[in-house]
Each structure stands twice: as structure tokens, then as C-alpha cells.
Amino acid sequence: NAGVTQTPKFQVLKTGQSMTLQCAQDMNHNSMYWYRQDPGMGLRLIYYSASEGTTDKGEVPNGYNVSRLNKREFSLRLESAAPSQTSVYFCASSEDARQGSKAVQFFGPGTRLTVL
Amino acid sequence: KNEVEQSPQNLTAQEGEFITINCSYSVGISALHWLQQHPGGGIVSLFMLSSGKKKHGRLIATINIQEKHSSLHITASHPRDSAVYICAVGRGSQGNLIFGKGTKLSVKP
């Protein structure tokens, strides 16, 4: 099992460009999450999907959109990238939304995004 | 004030030392997680606690719900334990977690 995979690993964008970060999990998990990690700050939740067909905003959703394409895949889109979106982005998944915050999350390797 | 505070921010230890990392939180929680972020960036879950104590190998995690405090202990530390250790709390029926800023541990041989 690959676990949680993310593509790309690195990306450089110019201000105003758009891109989609891809995430897939092969653990048959119901819930998936997108986080960003910035220096000196803890991980912050951008969007999450408690189950296939649902998505909800997290702490820092502005400037992002998400799609839960199917149970395996959860993508994050930047429509018009800004330098403030320079960050490392992590996707995660957990087995069962009914476990709530007790569910252990499994993380992807991260995508390092730079917006010039 | 951050809802999840970790101390210390940075910790340097000699191989073999006993290490303690602390996490305090200011909100009611249903679960507390400890995670490890490797120097290469990967993040793995170490423990999920809702009460008491858990042990896995040389790692021990404790939580005191009344005092809103948790500790992560590493016995007989080794250079391969060098990583950032992250505390996160969950508050309810959703899986959303609130993360601390992490404690960067460096274990010297």
C-alpha cells in the first residue's frame, strides 16, 4: 500500500497562475484533509471532507477550492495564486468520520509550493 | 494566546538522555494526538490519547485532562529520535485538529 500520495512534490508559480494539488489514498478511508504548514506556525486546516460527496471549510479556506472526486481522491485548487500561499501543503486521511477527533490521521509527503 | 502551547520550542539532548516534551491546551478536548515530523518533512502519528497513559517502545505519552496538559517522554534517546514533535487536540465530533507549533528535538551522539 502506498498510503497517502501527493503530486507534485515541488511547484513554483507566478502570482495569478492557477494549479491543482492532487491527493490520493489507498486505505479506503472516509475522511480527507488539506493542511498548510508555515514557518513558526502549526499545521492549519484549509478544507476537509468528512466523507465522499461532502466538503467543509477549515481555519484558512480563503483562496482555495477543493473537490472530493471519489473516495480515494481529494484535490486542492488555487485559482489565482498569491505570494501569501507560499507554503508546504499536506494532505491527510483518516478511517472513519464517526471517530471524530479520535481518528488517527495519515499524512502524505507534502507539496512545497512557492509563489513568486 | 494559542489554544495549544508546546514547550520547549527547541531541545538538544545527548544520546541516552531522558526527554520530556510538554503540551498545554486551553480548550475542552475529546482527544490529544502526538505526531512526529521527520527532518525530510514526513509526518506520522505516534499516539492518540483521551485519558491516562500510552507506551510504544521507548515513547510514553501521558495526559491529565483536569490540568489540560500532556507530556511525551522518550527514554534512552537516540540520534534517530531527532525530529519535530507536534501536539494536536481535537474538540468534538469532527476530525478537525488544532495543532501546536512543534518542538524541535536534536539528539547528539
C-beta atoms of A42 and B48 within 8 A: no
C-beta atoms of A100 and B94 within 8 A: yes
Core vs surface per residue B18-49: b (16+ CB within 10 A) or e:
ebebebbbeeebebbbbbbbeeeeebebbbbb
Residues of B in contact with A100 (CB under 8 A): 30-31, 90, 92-95
Whether residue A40 lies within 8 A of chain B, CB to CB, comes out as yes
By DSSP bridging, strand A4-7 and strand A105-107 are unpaired
CB distance B100 to B2 below 8 Å: yes
Measure the CA angle with vertex B97, ends B89 and A61; round to 5°: 150
**Nine-digit cell at B50?**
483521551
Q: How far apart are CA B67 and CA B65, in angstroms?
A: 6
Q: How far apart are CA A101 and CA A9, in angstroms?
A: 28
Residues of B in contact with A42 (CB under 8 A): 2, 4, 86, 88, 98-102
* pLDDT tens, chain B, 109 aa long: 678 999 999 999 999 999 999 999 998 888 999 999 998 889 999 999 999 999 999 999 999 999 999 999 999 999 999 999 999 998 766 678 899 999 999 999 9
List the single residue in A with minimal CA-CA distance to B97. A101
Closest CA to B48 of B16, B75, B70: B70
**What is the pLDDT confidence band of residue A112, given thresholds at 50, 70 and 90?**
very high
C-beta atoms of A107 and B43 within 8 A: yes
**Nine-digit cell at A114?**
512557492
3-state secondary structure of A99: helix
C-beta atoms of A101 and B42 within 8 A: no
**Residue A57 pLDDT:** 93
Enumerate chain B positions whose Cβ falls within 8 A of a Cβ in A.
Answer: 2, 4, 29-31, 33, 41-45, 48, 50, 86, 88-102
Higher pLDDT, B80 or A98: B80
